[in-house]
Amino acid sequence: MLITELKSHEDIKALATGKTFVISCFGCKEVHFPEEEAVALTKELGCKSALVDYICNPENLALRLAKYKKEIDAADKVLVFSCGVGVQTVSAALENKKVLAGCDTFPLPGFQGVTPLEFDCDQCGECYLNKTGGICPITACSKGLVNGQCGGAKNGKCEVDKDMECGWERIYRRLESQNRIADMKQDTQIRNFATNV
């Protein structure tokens, strides 16, 4: 189980500038999620939105998002209220769209999402997905590096696991394809392991 909390209202308002489409997940009852607060905040922001169940399942997500294709295409970015697994699944589905996390996720032992893919959320309480193109550097990198590539990758593969694609190369390619390389120049706070109990 995990706890998903909305980021501060100030942070969310800053993320939702411009034409923003909001996706809120309400599928996993094993996940604590402030659904009513997310819906109220979405109304306050005045954004077009969708309530979607089980966004961590790519097939289900594709079917649900097809209904909102016109609105998503017209938006500059998509703000997602869900755990980190859901944000990564939306980011993979909307590869050319800026996808942002509106929540942070904290751990509790037990069930986490229903995704059949390799996406994972380390539930660190400090979501980096907004700076890394929707690809988690902690779970996509064998070393969990948050400040960039280690330099040990060869031919795009991780030096720790030769079968694994380097997470930071994936992040770079995603940001490059979205003309967001400048995002990599933002300061990244040193990870606070105290939040990951």
Is residue 167 very low, low, confident or very high in pLDDT (cuts 50, 70, 90)?
Answer: very high
The highest-confidence range among 96-110, 124-138, 158-172, 179-193, by mean pLDDT, is 158-172
Q: Which residue has the tokens 């169940």?
A: 53
**For range 44-55, the mean pLDDT:** 90
| pLDDT exceeds 80 at position 30 | no
Q: Which of 101, 50, 93 is nearest to 71 (CA)?
A: 50
pLDDT of residue 123: 74
DSSP 79: E
> Which residue did the predictor score with more confidence, 31 or 175?
175
Residue 55 Cα to chain centre, angstroms: 11
What is the phi/psi pair of residue 17, to 5°? -75, 155
Average pLDDT over residues 122-129: 79
pTM of the model: 0.84
Q: How many domains does the chain have?
A: 1
User: What confidence score (pLDDT) does residue 97 get?
Assistant: 95
pLDDT in tens, 70-112: 999 999 999 999 988 889 999 999 999 999 999 988 876 655 5
pLDDT for residue 47: 93
pLDDT at residue 5 is higher than 80: yes
Is residue 24 pLDDT above 80, yes or no? yes
23-36 mean pLDDT: 77
Range of the domain at 113: 2-195
Q: Among 131, 134, 54, which residue's Cα sits nearest to residue 121?
A: 134
Residue pair 130/108 in contact by the 8 Å Cβ criterion: no
pLDDT in tens, 33-46: 788 888 899 999 99
| Residue in this structure with the two tokens 């050319």, named with its chain if needed | 96
d(CA 122, CA 138): 7
Output the six-digit token pair for 127: 């979501």
